[in-house]
């Protein structure tokens, strides 16, 4: 059997642990409530910002029209076109299947040696 003082120490430790668990439970419940309230507020704000369905269609057609006539003067720049072509080439190379050698050695090391 265990000593009475040891039993009393264990009982005290268990009581402290129970108290801590209750405090954490209350804290996390409160935090969760705050988070859910904030989420509901954000959803309400998003719903308020959403354009009506008819306005959304007109906004989409306006965006398409503005894309065809860019306001940025550099959009038609030859340097930009060259850069876009280079980026597209790099993306195609990245998506291309690897040979066994590239796979085993790593594609980056092969590109650095060439």
Q: What is the enclosing helix (H) or strand (E) of 71?
A: none
pLDDT for the residue numbered 86? 92
pLDDT band at 111 (very low <50, low <70, confident <90, very high): low
pLDDT band at 42 (very low <50, low <70, confident <90, very high): confident
pLDDT for the residue numbered 110? 45
31 and 23 Cβ atoms separated by less than 8 Å:
no
Per residue in 73-86, pLDDT tens?
777 888 888 989 99
Tell whether the model's pLDDT for residue 106 goes beyond 80: no
8-17, 38-47, 54-63, 103-112 — which is least confidently predicted? 54-63
Average pLDDT in the chain: 79
pLDDT for the residue numbered 114? 47
Rounded CA separation 114/106 (Å): 13
Which residues, at least 6 apart from 76, have a Cβ–Cβ distance to it below 8 Å? 70
Which residues, at least 6 apart from 55, have a Cβ–Cβ distance to it below 8 Å? none
Instruction: Supply the pTM of this predicted model.
Output: 0.33
């Amino acid at each position: 059997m265990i000593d009475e003082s040891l039993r009393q120490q264990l009982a005290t430790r268990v009581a402290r642990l129970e108290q801590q668990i209750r405090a954490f439970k209350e804290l996390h419940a409160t935090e969760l409530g705050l988070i859910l309230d904030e989420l509901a507020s954000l959803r309400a704000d998003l719903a308020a910002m959403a354009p009506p369905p008819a306005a959304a269609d007109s906004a989409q057609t306006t965006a398409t029209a503005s894309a065809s006539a860019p306001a940025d003067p550099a959009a038609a720049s030859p340097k930009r076109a060259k850069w876009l072509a280079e980026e597209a080439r790099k993306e195609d190379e990245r998506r291309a299947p690897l040979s066994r050698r590239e796979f085993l050695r790593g594609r980056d090391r092969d590109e650095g040696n060439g």
